[in-house]
Amino acid sequence: MKPLGRKHAAGGGPATDGCEHDMDGPSPVRLSEPEVRELFRRLKERMPDPRPELDAPNDFCFLVSVVLSAQATDKSVNEATAPLYAVASTPRQMLELGEEGLIRYIKPIGLYNAKAKNVIRLSRQLEEEFGGTLPSTREDLMKLAGVGRKTANVVLNVVFRKPTMPVDTHVFRVCNRTGLAPGRDVLEVEEGLEVRVPAEYALDAHHWLLLHGRYTCTARKPRCGDCVLAGLCPMPKEAETPLDKSGPIGV
């Protein structure tokens, strides 16, 4: 398929995707179907063309960036991978670079030793098992080193344009605060989104929710005064809730 030469969203992580949390329970509030449709109408109006934020010159590099983004910012990943992808942008080139060579580029990123091992292993798997290309199913993607359900869902959505619902800490927080898809864990939230998101919004839904959580519905100081979901969201303005200090960690 055509390489992805544009910016993409974060959402990667190790095989478990680091999505454990200590929340006491899901929000008791659940938006009605018309409210859900209005929520996405507003988010689309605010962000008509949501642009995820990892830089990647092709599909393979995008997968690597998502894996590297666990417990790291997109900015730090982009800074590390810009020079990396100039010398290694295919599985074979990554294998030629080797684990020690890779570490020299990604050392500023957290957990670089484990991530380097995973990137080299998944590069070998892609070469030996998938002809050097990314598999297009969740099951096959999750066979790759360092790829859990969330990372697989991100790749399926961004690379293969499938309406999957990756749930990271931002999406988890927004879904519970607003009552869009309350859940005790990320799988429950993901399954709720799959049922509740209208089909016409499904492809970009996780991008809107992630970006809204990252820049407006932030963990400790949500910008409620600048929120397009005012009147829909039951959270008191400028108030902290138990969700502010919980949610999936390590994303």
Mean pLDDT of the chain: 87
Look at residue 8 and tell me whether its pLDDT is greater than 70.
no
**What confidence tens digit (pLDDT) does each residue in 138-160 have?**
999 999 999 999 999 999 999 99
State yes or no: is 150 an active-site residue: yes
Look at residue 128 and tell me whether its pLDDT is greater than 70.
yes
Please answer whether residues 28 and 233 qualify as being in contact, where contact means their C-beta atoms are separated by less than 8 angstroms: no
**What confidence tens digit (pLDDT) does each residue in 178-234 have?**
999 999 999 999 999 999 999 999 999 999 999 999 999 999 999 999 999 999 998
Please answer whether residues 231 and 42 qualify as being in contact, where contact means their C-beta atoms are separated by less than 8 angstroms: no
- pLDDT bin (cut points 50, 70, 90) of residue 52 is confident
Please tell me which residue in 75, 168, 185, 221 is annotated as part of the active site.
168
Say what the pLDDT of residue 21 is.
42
State yes or no: is 168 an active-site residue: yes
Q: 198-222 b/e with 16+ CB inside 10 Å = b? A: eeebbebbbbbbbbbbbebbebeeb
Determine how many CB atoms are found less than 10 A away from the CB of residue 120. 20
Please answer whether residues 125 and 143 qualify as being in contact, where contact means their C-beta atoms are separated by less than 8 angstroms: yes
CA distance 111 to 95: 19
The tokens for 235 are 């959270």
Higher-scoring residue by pLDDT: 218, 237: 218
Please tell me which residue in 55, 74, 150, 204 is annotated as part of the active site.
150
- pLDDT bin (cut points 50, 70, 90) of residue 166 is very high
Please answer whether residues 50 and 208 qualify as being in contact, where contact means their C-beta atoms are separated by less than 8 angstroms: yes
